[in-house]
């Protein structure tokens, strides 16, 4: 006897709909490896319908005064709190994440981020009006860009949806968002929440639309003629494809892609404290985080002591069931990701040494042990490429110059951290590290007021902060004659 799978649906113009052609894909809980739902495999007709709804809703939403958009976002934040347990359950099933950690580490910041952008809606900035030519006054208008096509990833599907829709809606844009095909459940629930708020406050529900589907669905969204902007959080390959597709009609593009964060540990560091914080920042969410502390460079004088302490911390780190409050992380998101992480370990060079972990754990699901690999060289695959799993690599460096060279010697440039008691050294490193974020004696904290985004193959554009809000606006110069 089989259990009937739950049916997830698209949300278009205020209605939950199946794909026009009826196609679906199964959604698997990574903690069990078993399907629990089906979701639409949306095609061109579904994308057309969602874009038409967003396009029709745009003029009225654009023309609202910012205070009215703020009311909507504040109500959405309130509703997230009221329906938090539903969101937690959906995200845990989506990703196999520990319930307690979703409750403590995801719901509060998401609510705070929505409220931040609700305030940002009323803080439009530009140059002061003035006369820059005799007889003429110039002013700056900051306007929404239009319909936004947004693609969210599977590592934080709920939070990344917030990072996308909150600034877009606050700035006066309308949205069509696609969750990953492996994690659609929480985004569909968000659609229900936002739709109900829009309805209660008398706004078109076409302001926010959700399309489920695969890479082809995402391609159709990005290449569609309606959106003025395409935003994606995903892999470097996906970002390049989006940029190429968007270039065909010169859409604005916002890309938050991969990372390979260096964690530079100097000999004057408090080793016990650094190991404790780095292991959490490396293994949280099974290392499936573009900013994860998974590439450690430690000064040679403390290398052996540090590696031993890190291996011990790994052996004491627990992964497991969603209802176990002692676990730090759950499974990898899908079978392909598990295969990818295993592949990195299987291809390790002979000079590498597995200090802890290195294997799949459990009889079901996609769990992988917290892993430490030492003895690595700068050009090793596992150092250069994003593993996106609970694997921390360790390299030994001799001096500050070498640390900077190796830290910057990858194609990614999203985040980094420096561990030292020397203030001058910390300031030199923060200048020299070519990454969008540099943490000092910590790794991974984020706040709504500060930007998140990288350089090089980590993409361009910012999430969070006033800079993230600005990315969803355009600038218009208005000039008037003083002669009447």
For the segment 237-279, what is each residue's pLDDT rounded down to a tens digit? 999 999 999 999 999 999 999 999 999 999 999 999 999 999 9
* CB-based contact 47:39 (threshold 8 Å): no
Q: Kindly name the residue from 256, 355, 386, 437 that is annotated as catalytic.
A: 256
The number of residues in the chain equals 484
Q: Where are the beta strands (DSSP E) in 364-466?
A: 367-368, 371-374, 391-397, 412-413, 415-419, 437-440, 455-456, 459-460
Which single residue is written with the structure tokens 């502390």?
293
- Domains present along the chain, CATH in parentheses: 6-257+458-477 (3.40.605.10), 262-447 (3.40.309.10)
Q: Kindly name the residue from 95, 148, 290, 437 that is annotated as catalytic.
A: 290
pLDDT, position 402: 98
* CB-based contact 357:316 (threshold 8 Å): no
pLDDT, position 1: 43
Sheet with strand 24-29: strands edge to edge: 6-7, 34-40, 24-29
Q: Which residues pair with 15 in a beta bridge?
A: 12
Residue 290 designated active-site = yes
Report the DSSP pairing between strands 34-40 and 360-361. Answer: unpaired
pLDDT, position 125: 84
- The 3-state DSSP class for residue 289 equals coil
pLDDT, position 415: 98
pLDDT, position 465: 97
Residue 212 designated active-site = no
Which phi and psi (to 5°) does residue 201 adopt? -95, 5
Q: Which residues of the chain have pLDDT under 50?
A: 1
């Amino acid at each position: 006897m089989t259990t009937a799978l739950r049916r997830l649906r698209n949300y278009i113009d205020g209605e939950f709909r199946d794909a026009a052609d009826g196609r679906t894909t199964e959604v698997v809980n990574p903690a069990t490896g078993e399907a629990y739902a089906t979701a639409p495999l949306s095609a061109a007709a579904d994308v057309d319908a969602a874009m038409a709804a967003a396009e029709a809703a745009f003029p009225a939403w654009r023309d609202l005064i910012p205070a009215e958009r703020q009311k909507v976002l504040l109500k959405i934040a309130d509703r997230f709190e009221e329906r938090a347990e539903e969101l937690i359950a959906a995200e845990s099933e989506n990703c196999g994440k520990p319930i307690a950690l979703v409750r403590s580490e995801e719901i509060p910041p998401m609510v705070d981020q929505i409220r931040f952008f609700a305030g940002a809606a009323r803080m439009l900035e530009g140059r002061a009006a003035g006369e820059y030519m005799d007889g003429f006054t110039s002013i700056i208008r900051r306007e929404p860009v239009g319909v936004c096509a947004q693609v969210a990833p599977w590592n934080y599907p709920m939070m990344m949806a917030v990072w996308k829709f909150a600034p877009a809606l606050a700035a006066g844009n309308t949205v069509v968002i696609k969750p990953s095909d492996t994690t659609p459940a929480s985004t569909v629930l968000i659609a229900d929440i936002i739709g109900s708020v829009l309805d209660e406050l008398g706004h078109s529900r076409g302001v926010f639309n959700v399309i489920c589907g695969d890479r082809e669905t995402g391609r159709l969204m990005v290449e569609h003629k309606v959106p003025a902007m395409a935003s994606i959080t995903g892999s470097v390959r996906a970002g390049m494809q989006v940029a190429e597709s968007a270039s065909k009609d010169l859409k604005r593009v916002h890309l938050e892609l991969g990372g390979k964060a260096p964690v530079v540990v100097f000999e004057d560091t408090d080793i016990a404290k650094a190991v404790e914080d780095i292991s959490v920042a490396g293994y949280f969410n099974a290392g499936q985080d573009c900013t994860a502390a998974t590439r450690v460079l430690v000064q040679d004088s403390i290398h052996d002591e540090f590696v031993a302490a890190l291996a011990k911390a790994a052996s004491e780190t627990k992964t497991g069931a969603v209802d176990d409050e002692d676990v730090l992380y759950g499974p990898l998101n899908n079978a392909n990701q598990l295969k990818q992480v295993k592949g990195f370990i299987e291809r390790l060079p002979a000079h590498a040494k597995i200090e802890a972990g290195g294997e799949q754990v459990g009889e079901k699901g996609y769990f992988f042990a917290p892993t430490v690999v030492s003895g690595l060289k700068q050009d090793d695959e596992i150092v250069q490429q994003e593993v996106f799993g609970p694997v921390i690599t360790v390299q030994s460096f001799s001096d500050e110059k070498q640390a900077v060279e190796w830290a910057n010697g990858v194609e990614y440039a999203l985040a980094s951290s420096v561990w030292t008691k020397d203030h001058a050294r910390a300031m030199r490193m923060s200048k020299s590290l070519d990454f969008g974020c540099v943490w000092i004696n910590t790794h991974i904290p984020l706040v709504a007021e500060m930007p998140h985004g990288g350089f090089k193959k980590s993409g361009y554009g910012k999430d969070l902060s006033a800079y993230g809000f600005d990315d969803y606006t355009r600038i218009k110069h208005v000039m008037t004659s003083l002669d009447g």
